[in-house]
Structure 1
Amino acid sequence: MTHHTLLRQILDYSSRADPYPLYAELRRTPVLQEGSDLFVVSTYWEIKNLLHDPRVSSDARNLSPGAAGTLLQEEESALPPAFLRLDPPEHDRLRRMAMRPFGPPETPRRVHDMRSELARIVSGLIDGFGDRNQVDLVEDFSYPFPVTVICRLLGIPREDEARFHAWADTIAAGLDPDPDQDAGERRHVTQQARTELGAYLSELVEERRTAPDDGMLSELINQHGGTDGQMTRMEVLSTAALLLIAGHETTVNLITNGMLTLLRHPDVLERLRNDSGAALPIVEELLRFEPPVQLLPQRTTLADIDIGGTTIPKGASVWLVLASGNRDPQRFTDPDRFDPDREDNQHLGFGSGIHNCFGAPLARLEAQLALTALARRLDGPRLVKDPPPYRQNAVLRGPRHLEIAFDGLRA
């Protein structure tokens, strides 16, 4: 099997249900050069080192002309790059300002204080299954739960979900480095969605500027960040778009992949049903075993970097395969076994370094509450189809649908 064929196989949709054997092949060459300017990194310590290396940039403007990663580069649109796609000091300033209304140190209890409300949303969605004995977990639960949560958190009307759903799907699909897609058409479609989402958020910004509420969008607009100053209008829009999309896309995958894994491991499902305290280690192992973000394809080197016996030149495009690093036997014992009792589980499920997942505390809590409630309330749950149909996206890998049959609901 050639390296070129291996990489294309990983990206090919036919591998989406189980890419892990291909990742094992990939790890035989920890830093794989693909063509002249693309380097794929697949082993744990090499990925971890690069995530903490200031010579690795998240800003696509640093790519060399013609570099492989330019197919993912953002063009000018109504929305500039969000802080996730920037480097220090711009990244650090915007991330600090976004964190003020969300978490420590300025708002340390925001996620904690949402627990009871999240539990009510979960309970209401499961009650909504009614007398049915089969549901599509994605459509009926995994998608509406985090969407409802992020709308309430940001102060976005839940009834507008139908408007931003298509934009979010299109923008998320733009992350997928599918070599068989026309790059120009993908950029055009993605940028059109970003422009329309920007226009929608701009209307909300004006409403919240004159009539603020307790949502994060209002706080981003009206906060004064001390030495960091105040976000510009465009910075508010790009930050809100990032939180809206990232705040539900990855959590949908985490919950769906989680329930799929639990149904494949009924002993662990039974353990969770009888012990809600098991949710924490189960979710951490899920983040290692089936991470919702499989790879990060948008990194650029600012200098020559020697790593894993290979020199990655300045201006090269670097892809970090997080899901492969999470299954690296040099880091995790028996890595292909789902083991919630695993010790020292320092996975890459939320990345690492300065770009570690902003919403990780909320995503963890959502997954813990959701999976615990599903385990407790579904009587005799079982998969209708295994493997289920997956999303096209190789980056945000997860089932498009997950049909579950069950005998009824428990109180």
Structure 2
Amino acid sequence: MTADTLLERITDYASRPNPYPLYAELREAGPVVRQADGSYLVGTYHEIAALLHDPRMSADPRSRGETAGTLPFLRLDDPEHHRLRRLAMRPFGPPHSPGRVDAMRGEIARITEELMEGFEAGRQLDVVDDFAYPLPVTVICRLLGVPREDEPLFREWSDAIVASADVRPEDQASAERDRAGDQARSEMGQYLVNLAEQRRDNPGDDMLSAFVNEPDPALRLTHEELAETGVLLLIAGHETTVNLITNGVLTLLRHREHLDHLHKEPDLLPRAIEELLRYEPPVHMRERIPRADIDVSGTTLPEGTSVILALASGNRDPKRFQEPDRFDPARPDNEHLGFGSGIHLCYGAPLARIEAQAALDALIPRLGTARLVEDPPPYRQNAMLRGPRHLTVEL
């Protein structure tokens, strides 16, 4: 196999259970590897971090001539990115709403306890369907003000949108996935705008209410911006956290000594979650487009080309992390790329950390005698948002 086919091999479903040997191959061949289709792969930590902070690297697909309507701030560059992210942050976090996420701690603990009620010794359960999926979905529904009974609707939309957003070589199915994703995004956005409009002049204590009842006209989102922002928050608010929790459970069940240690010393859990974000991150890759020719370690990334930053590879770079393939919950100096870096650093990272801590804190005491029914488990199709589709354990 030549380096030209690395992206095809990394995104091949057969590689999903363990892409890390391919990431090692990428770093050996790199730090920058040109693909047969003219795109570039970057797999080393320092180069990825530098590019994530480089204002010449664009997240906007229009940078390579694509036509696009209203885009979520995740796909925009400054100053438009900064404007929309700031408006979205007003009802979510500091400085405008400093207590919003912290105030959710009790609610998250209560939702976690409710989900744990069915966990009885001697039965099998699917960590994804019975726990890791419903927890963040319930939390983001409460935050945005989406009725929980409508969750089946947006699960279907979410699956279509996430499938279309994957990083992969183009194939015949890509156009169909893109069409399905666009339609789902449109339907979900309209649903959220309609829901928000019901709260106009009749607000609840939720983010959709805050968006439509903003008193300052200069700080209001248009209908199109509200639709894109709502869709982004709803999907990003649960998709990555599902993977973080599920990958965490799988990793701890594969490393029983650390599971036992965390059971005895739960105060170590926050640091262990940072190591999980490095060792088995929920997001493996991000795409960027140079707005000018950029030199990276002697290789030119040409303006307008697709550049795939393999964050999960950077997290295993031996030039940055000592013994990177070892899971070490007490690892010092753990500045991982699990939530990205630069201006697009994950908006919901504080909430994801609280949810992961509540989830693992509740699960760890019950996992001591749990057995994995299938290892490796079946994985989701998506290579960019990598995590098990099911994780069946016997208590």
TM-score of the superposed pair, with normalisation by structure 2: 0.96
Aligned to 1:3: 3
Aligned partner of 1:267: which letter?
E
1:47 and 2:36 correspond = no
Aligned to 1:367: 356
Aligned to 1:182: 173
Supply the distance in 1 between the matched residues of 2:373 and 2:234 (Cα, whole angstroms): 31
What does 1:47-126 correspond to in 2, within 5 Å?
Answer: 47-64=48-65, 75-76=68-69, 80-126=70-116
Aligned partner of 1:372: which letter?
D
Aligned to 2:311: 322
**Aligned equivalent of 1:173, options 140, 146, 163:** 163
Aligned partner of 1:45: which letter?
H
Answer yes or no: is the 8 Å Cα contact 1:97–1:225 preserved in 2.
Answer: no
Answer yes or no: is the 8 Å Cα contact 1:74–1:81 preserved in 2.
Answer: no
Secondary structure class of the residue paired with 2:40: strand
Of 268-277 and 243-252, the range deviating more from structure 2: 268-277
Aligned to 1:302: 291
Supply the distance in 2 between the matched residues of 1:372 and 1:211 (Cα, whole angstroms): 38
Deviations 1:299-345 (A, max 9, x none): 11111101122011111111100000000000000000000111110
Q: Structure 1 36/125 Cα, relative in aligned 2: closer, same or farther at 3 Å? A: closer
Of 308-317 and 388-397, the range deviating more from structure 2: 308-317
What's the Cα RMSD here? 1.5
**Aligned equivalent of 1:201, options 187, 192, 207:** 192
Secondary structure class of the residue paired with 2:237: helix
What does 1:208-223 correspond to in 2, within 5 Å?
Answer: 208-223=199-214
Aligned to 1:135: 125
Deviations 1:328-373 (A, max 9, x none): 0000000000001111100000000000000000000100110111
Deviations 1:31-84 (A, max 9, x none): 1111363111110000000000000011100114xxxxxxxx6754xxx21111
Aligned to 2:135: 145
Q: Structure 1 219/27 Cα, relative in aligned 2: closer, same or farther at 3 Å? A: same
Of 7-16 and 377-386, the range deviating more from structure 2: 377-386
Supply the distance in 2 between the matched residues of 1:368 and 1:312 (Cα, whole angstroms): 39
Supply the distance in 2 between the matched residues of 1:223 and 1:358 (Cα, whole angstroms): 20
Aligned partner of 2:133: which letter?
Y
Answer yes or no: is the 8 Å Cα contact 1:167–1:194 preserved in 2.
Answer: yes
Supply the distance in 1 between the matched residues of 2:215 and 2:372 (Cα, whole angstroms): 50
Aligned to 1:337: 326
Deviations 1:184-232 (A, max 9, x none): 2121111111121122112202111142101011111222458x53211
Secondary structure class of the residue paired with 2:135: helix
Supply the distance in 2 between the matched residues of 1:181 and 1:383 (Cα, whole angstroms): 36
Aligned partner of 2:182: which letter?
Q
Answer yes or no: is the 8 Å Cα contact 1:51–1:353 preserved in 2.
Answer: yes
Supply the distance in 2 between the matched residues of 1:403 and 1:9 (Cα, whole angstroms): 27
Aligned partner of 1:10: which letter?
I
1:32 and 2:23 correspond = no
Deviation at 1:282, TM superposition (A): 0.6
Secondary structure class of the residue paired with 1:392: coil
Secondary structure class of the residue paired with 1:182: helix
Of 361-370 and 197-206, the range deviating more from structure 2: 197-206
Supply the distance in 1 between the matched residues of 2:96 and 2:118 (Cα, whole angstroms): 37
Of 186-195 and 29-38, the range deviating more from structure 2: 29-38
Answer yes or no: is the 8 Å Cα contact 2:4–2:34 preserved in 1.
Answer: no
Deviation at 1:378, TM superposition (A): 4.2
Answer yes or no: is the 8 Å Cα contact 2:7–2:168 preserved in 1.
Answer: no
Aligned to 2:23: 23
Q: Share of identical aligned residues, percent?
A: 59
Supply the distance in 2 between the matched residues of 1:255 and 1:364 (Cα, whole angstroms): 10
Q: Structure 1 154/253 Cα, relative in aligned 2: closer, same or farther at 3 Å? A: same
Supply the distance in 1 between the matched residues of 2:172 and 2:204 (Cα, whole angstroms): 42
1:14 and 2:4 correspond = no
Answer yes or no: is the 8 Å Cα contact 1:119–1:369 preserved in 2.
Answer: yes
Deviations 1:220-267 (A, max 9, x none): 1222458x5321121111111100000000000000000000000111
Which 5+ residue runs of structure 1 have no aligned equivalent? 65-72, 407-411
Supply the distance in 1 between the matched residues of 2:135 and 2:36 (Cα, whole angstroms): 42
Which 5+ residue runs of structure 2 have no aligned equivalent? none
